[in-house]
């Protein structure tokens, strides 16, 4: 299996018995799915559980996957559904904001919430500013209304298109487009101080 294989080809190879193909597929998308759960408000233990459930669903359904859409669309739809299932199981209101864990719960691991370019990595002042900017960005994402945050994360973490987000969430394409526009405007406004 080469690094140039598509996600869909890797999943088909795994379904045909190539365990290495699954490893490569997991390596490609593990961080993005984990960050998706964390940024939706899951603490690290919840994110780990959701990751396990999501990737087990991928394993169980690999042979049935029909590439009508990209693998990432399917993966993030499964991830979103696992999160919703967890909320329902806890008998809470079905909304993305219902699992907010506060600042400590939202960042209780060493896993960075966003990747920060190194730039002048040797300069402590630049490192401190980059960390503060990253924390401000994460806080701005967490402050978005639930539907806007979900659309933004599906696009930013999952790389999903407008149509794919609409399919994953059951919303109309224009609604998704509006949610993304509002989210981007709010994020830009929140980050103006860092420009």
The pLDDT tens digits of the residues spanning 91-139 come to 443 333 333 334 433 444 444 444 444 445 556 665 667 677 778 888 8
Q: Are 74 and 164 in contact (CB under 8 A)?
A: no
Region of poorest pLDDT, from 152-156, 169-173, 189-193: 189-193
Q: Which ranges in the chain are annotated with CATH 1.10.1740.10?
A: 1-95
Distances (CA, A) of 120 to 60, 61, 183, 190, 195: 45, 45, 29, 24, 17
Give the rounded distance of the alpha carbon of 63 from its chain centre.
24
Report the 10 Å Cβ neighbour count for 75: 26
Mean pLDDT of 67-88: 85
Q: Which CATH number fits domain 114-195: 1.10.3720.10, 1.20.140.10, 1.10.10.10, 3.40.50.300?
A: 1.10.10.10
Mean pLDDT of 149-175: 90
CATH code linked to domain 1-95? 1.10.1740.10
Q: Which helix (H) or strand (E) holds 11?
A: helix 7-15
């Amino acid at each position: 299996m080469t690094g140039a294989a598509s996600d869909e080809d890797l999943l088909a190879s795994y379904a045909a018995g190539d365990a290495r193909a699954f490893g490569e597929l997991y390596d490609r998308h593990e961080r993005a799915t984990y960050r998706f759960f964390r940024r939706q408000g899951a603490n690290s233990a919840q994110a780990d559980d959701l990751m396990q459930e999501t990737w087990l669903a991928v394993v169980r359904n690999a042979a049935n996957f029909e590439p009508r859409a990209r693998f990432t669309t399917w993966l993030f739809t499964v991830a979103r559904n696992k999160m919703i299932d967890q909320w329902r199981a806890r008998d809470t209101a079905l909304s993305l904001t219902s699992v907010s864990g506060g600042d400590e719960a939202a960042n209780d691991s060493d896993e960075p919430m966003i990747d920060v370019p190194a730039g002048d990595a040797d300069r402590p002042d630049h490192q401190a500013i980059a960390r503060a900017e990253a924390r401000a960005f994460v806080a701005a994402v967490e402050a978005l209304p639930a539907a806007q945050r979900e659309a933004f994360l599906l696009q930013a973490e999952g790389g999903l298109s407008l149509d794919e987000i609409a399919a994953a969430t059951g919303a109309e394409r224009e609604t998704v487009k509006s949610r993304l526009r509002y989210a981007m405007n709010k994020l830009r406004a929140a980050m103006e101080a860092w420009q």
